């Protein structure tokens, strides 16, 4: 049976968590002192990847747990022992934590809580885990087995509600299979970035261009689908002219639909299809009354990018490449009598590097 405590504000919720921690710390000390034996346990701590930048990790959790239970002993993975799995993830604008306890006979119990910030939640979860380790298994836990003067501690979980919540579940159900890691819920996020790229084909010679973009993605497990809008500029002169007088520049916007797949914990691979449209501008700088042409520019594009999030942070670096088909190409001719000219081929490309940041949406 689980029990929910609600609060009108983030400040009052922190106060509730602090009160819970203060209450159970005293009980943890009493139980630990009364226990003459040290139990070896399996301990696992996981958190959502996108909480890595703001949420303490397994090392901080274990340190907080050892502060409450100094005689903590971790059992080897291939030996039988009780298992304590702690999971932390975002639910809306708050952080949810769940402790899953797997007994030696396979029975499972769960204890859940929420907090407006992750450090407070991890500290409270460490105290709750210490209390759970000191409690005997459900099969031997009776009112007579409690030490005199020690009050009964009910699981810090939530009671069943008319509308069941997938984040929480009832405690101590013998029919529940052993715990497994909780999949991250579907969520959306925005990505913003800038970069530079070598432009190949659309200009009279290879030149560096610049690109900035925004992107929306919807995550489903380890796969994300999304849309991307980028703005780019590139410029180069026409070679083989007498005065190097012809300049060509492009101003383009590219819309793309993308799919991304997580390769490793800190690396993703993304593929996109889309189209670029904008202006193809050519002009002479040293010839009086020379032509100054601004023409529509349209290409069909396919691209890919590899992103690396250092330490699973929201910031990332990426390498990207794209190829495009030019729907209509234009001939650029110098007006200085050199007979220099250029016409963009049907196939063009770009290869570049960029940096960016992702932002979770509520």
% of the chain at pLDDT higher than 90: 34
Q: If you write DSSP's letter for every residue of 285-302 in order, what string do you get?
A: SSSTT--EEEEEEEEEEE
Q: Give CA separation, 12 vs 9, 15, 298, in Å.
A: 5, 5, 57
Residue 59 CA, chain-centre distance (Å), reads 20
Q: pLDDT tier at 58 (50, 70, 90 boundaries)?
A: confident
Largest pairwise CA distance in the chain? 106
The pLDDT of residue 47:
86
Q: How far apart are CA 70 and CA 178, in angstroms?
A: 27
% of the chain at pLDDT higher than 70: 73
Q: How far apart are CA 262 and CA 223, in angstroms?
A: 7
**Tens of pLDDT, residues 196-234:** 999 999 999 999 999 999 999 988 777 889 999 999 999
Give the strand pairing for 267-284 and 246-264: antiparallel
E-strand spans in the chain?
Answer: 40-47, 73-74, 82-91, 94-102, 108-115, 187-200, 207-220, 223-237, 246-264, 267-284, 292-308, 315-326, 331-333, 341-343, 347-360
pLDDT (average), residues 241-259? 88
- Which pTM does this prediction carry? 0.53
pLDDT surpassing 70 at residue 157: no
Q: How far apart are CA 282 and CA 245, in angstroms?
A: 10
pLDDT (average), residues 25-41? 54
Q: Closest Cα to residue 168, out of 85, 271, 98, 108?
A: 98
The pLDDT of residue 270:
94
Mean pLDDT value across the chain: 78
Length of the chain: 362
Neighbours of 246 (CB within 10 A): 29
User: Could you give the residue ranges of the DSSP H alpha helices within the chain?
Assistant: 10-34, 58-68, 118-134
Q: pLDDT tier at 309 (50, 70, 90 boundaries)?
A: confident
Tokens (6 digits) for 213: 């973009």
More confident call, 90 vs 105: 105
The pLDDT of residue 253:
97
The pLDDT of residue 17:
52
Contact (CB, 8 A) for 291 and 281: no
Contact (CB, 8 A) for 210 and 235: no
pLDDT (average), residues 333-358? 89
pLDDT surpassing 50 at residue 64: yes
pLDDT surpassing 50 at residue 182: no
Q: pLDDT tier at 188 (50, 70, 90 boundaries)?
A: confident
More confident call, 178 vs 126: 126
């Amino acid at each position: 049976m689980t029990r929910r405590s609600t609060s009108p504000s983030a400040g009052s919720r922190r106060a509730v968590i602090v009160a819970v921690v203060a209450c159970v710390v005293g009980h943890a000390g009493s139980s630990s002192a009364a226990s003459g034996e040290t139990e070896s346990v399996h301990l696992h701590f996981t958190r959502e990847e996108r909480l890595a930048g703001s949420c303490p990790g397994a090392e901080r959790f274990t340190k907080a747990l050892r502060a409450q239970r100094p005689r903590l002993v971790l059992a080897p993975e291939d030996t039988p022992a009780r298992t304590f799995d702690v999971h932390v993830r975002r639910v809306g604008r708050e952080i949810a934590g769940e402790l899953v306890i797997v007994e030696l006979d396979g029975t499972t119990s769960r204890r859940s809580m929420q907090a407006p910030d992750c450090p407070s939640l991890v500290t409270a979860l460490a105290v709750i885990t210490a209390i759970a380790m000191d409690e005997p298994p459900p099969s031997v836990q009776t009112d007579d087995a409690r030490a005199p003067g020690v009050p009964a501690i009910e699981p810090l979980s939530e009671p069943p509600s008319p509308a069941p919540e997938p984040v929480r579940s009832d405690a101590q159900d013998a029919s529940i299979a052993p715990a497994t890691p909780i999949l991250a819920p579907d969520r959306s996020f925005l990505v913003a970035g800038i970069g530079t790229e070598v432009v190949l084909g659309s200009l009279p010679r290879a030149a560096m261009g610049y690109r900035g973009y925004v992107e929306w993605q919807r995550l489903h497990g380890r796969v994300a689908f999304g849309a991307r809008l980028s703005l780019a500029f590139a410029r180069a002169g026409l070679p083989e002219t007498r005065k190097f007088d012809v300049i060509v520049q492009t101003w383009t916007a590219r819309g793309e639909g993308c799919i991304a797949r997580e390769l490793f914990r800190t690396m993703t691979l993304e593929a996109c299809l889309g189209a670029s449209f904008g202006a193809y501008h050519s002009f002479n700088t040293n010839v009086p009354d020379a032509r100054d042409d601004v023409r529509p520019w349209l290409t069909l594009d396919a691209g890919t990018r590899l992103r690396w999030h250092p330490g699973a942070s929201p910031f990332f670096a990426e390498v990207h490449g794209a190829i495009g088909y030019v729907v209509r190409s234009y001939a650029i001719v110098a007006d200085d009598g050199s007979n220099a000219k250029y016409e963009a081929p049907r196939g063009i490309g770009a290869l570049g590097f960029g940096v960016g940041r992702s932002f979770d949406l509520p």
